[in-house]
Amino acid sequence: MTIKKLLFGTAFLLGAAGTAQAQYTKDVLLFSQGDNGGTARFKAMGNASTALGGDISSITGNPAGLGYFNQSDISVTGRYLNNKNKTDYFGQNSNSSKNNFNLDNAGIVFHLPTYRNGGNLEQGWLNFNVGIAYNRNYVYNNLLEYRGINNTSSITDAYSDRLSSPGGMKGWGQEVYNNSLLFDVDPKNAGAYIPLTVGGNYDGKGGFNQINSILEKGSKSESVLSFGANYSNKLYLGAALGFTAFSYDNSSWFTEYGQTMTADQLTKINKDSEYLKPEAAYAKKREMLDKDYELYDDYAQVTDGTGVDFKLGVIYKFTPTFSMGFTAKSPTFMSIRDESYSNSEFRYFKPNEDKSFKEYRTSDDAGHSYLEYNMNTPYKLSLGASQVFSRGLITADVEWVDFGAIRFKDPGAYNKALEQEMNQNIKNNYQGAFNARIGGEVLFDNVFSGRAGFNYSGNPYKNADYTNYTASLGIGAKLGRGMYIDLTGAYNAVNYKESPYLIDEQYFGNTSPVADIKNQRTNVVLTIGSKF
């Protein structure tokens, strides 16, 4: 029996059934995600900003858009986020939510015209503008909970997979096998181990009451220095240098309630088991049969990192009202520190008794992991077009992100085997994806304007279902003396499936448990700014 590699993008418990490779492969995708961010105006138009300019969002979007500014500008953007999850786990529905308020964006553009006292203001290089911005492009704050009666597998099946894997009986595995007294040798497969839990694996009647809770905290942000230039009001060029920083905390609690086998059930599987022997030396093992148990698996992760990237952009006006834009963003070259802790706890009860007669918890050393590594996020290529009308505009973008090009690197070259396996896992599980954005703006009068947008994100997984879209509406007002205010509401929905653990399906003859998750993020974004 060999441990099955985990699906990346699923939650899992490192102390129970995960591997370091699976943990880091999941993380590199998570830490690669994020949007260009910016003001409420561009968020209302679906963040379709590749072919538009004249907004603070150009600093972190297409820096060529800085060339549109004919005066300086400053703005601050705040965001309220309601993050809600609806789950279905073995037919039982659960809801969970978490709220967050944060500073989403702050930026300033300095307009530096090349002509100040006379001269031709229509031809040649007309300005070289500079923009500086802080942008929070991903908020990790999330609470996910699901529960249900699992009639097909136990997390102890995943434990036994790990025990049966090469080297599985060392460290954590040796502790769990010797002290939990919840596993027996497999008489049909040398070097393999089976759990003594009762469920659908053995008689088709048992069930396991399971609860999984995952609390995530943290955010990813960037500080950007951008330059943009305007040539003859036709060609706009820009470049940006970005500095990324993030922090991520993950706390997971998996709980399972079940029963151990009776002597009759174990006899059918392994009649020579030590748990069935009558000698006094095996009394403690015999005592574990036909009992209730509680199993807790706790996992905590703290990760932080920094990185740098650069971006080039261009916008060209084919006519005074129609323009196209292009941006190329390099990978973000990141340095990351990751530390995690995991513990497994077992409690056993005699029937109809509330007080446990045996408890065991794995040692802290067996579940501790620390690693420093480097990572290159995917490069991004964006192409956009916009058309301006007398009372508004419409704009659209398409973006290519090659998630298969994520690279994991061991900075000290001490663990090349991990590096090679990680990068192969990335290629096997991730793929390139197209993102599409469209938005529009209508000027109601000289003061008020309305906006709407839609954003679709492609599937980064090769072999998993995943949908991600955002719809947005917004309104803006010019307050006079250069002041303006914009308000946007954006609804983001992500539908995906997640496994709390994975088992060797061929060995057990069952599928791994799956939770259907609908993640709904409602954002309310407010921007206040002034041109000067």
pLDDT band at 11 (very low <50, low <70, confident <90, very high): very low
pLDDT tens digit string along 236-267?
999 999 999 999 999 999 999 999 999 999 99
Structure tokens at 376: 């290159």
**For 165, what's the count of Cα atoms within 13 Å in the CB-facing half-sphere?**
21
pLDDT score of 526: 97
Mean pLDDT, the chain, as a whole number? 88
pLDDT confidence of residue 24: 66
Q: Using the predicted structure, report yes or no on whether residue 17 has a pLDDT greater than 70.
A: no
The region that residue 482 occupies, defined by phi over 0 for left and psi between -120 and 50 for alpha, beta otherwise, is left
- pLDDT of res. 14: 33
Q: Which two tokens stand for residue 150?
A: 């699992």
Look at residue 478 and tell me whether its pLDDT is greater than 70. Answer: yes
Q: Name the strand (E) or helix (H) holding 157.
A: helix 155-164
- The pLDDT of residue 29: 82
Phi, psi (5° rounding) for residue 381?
-125, 130
pLDDT at 13: 38
CA gap 141, 136 in Å, rounded: 13
| pLDDT over 50 at 180, yes or no | yes
Q: Is the pLDDT of residue 443 over 50?
A: yes
- Number of neighbours of residue 438 by Cβ within 10 angstroms: 18
Domains belonging to the chain, first-starting first, are: 20-531 (2.40.160.60)
In whole angstroms, give the CA distance from residue 219 to residue 221: 7
Q: Please state which of the ranges 62-66, 359-363, 381-385 shows the lowest mean pLDDT.
A: 359-363
pLDDT band at 10 (very low <50, low <70, confident <90, very high): very low
203 has a pLDDT exceeding 60: no
**Model confidence at 169, in pLDDT bands (50, 70, 90)?**
confident
Over residues 143-167, mean pLDDT? 91
Report pLDDT for 199. Answer: 65
Q: Across residues 308-325, what is the average pLDDT?
A: 96
* Per-residue pLDDT at 6 exceeds 50: no
Between 214 and 114, the higher pLDDT residue: 214
Report the greatest alpha carbon distance in the chain. Answer: 105
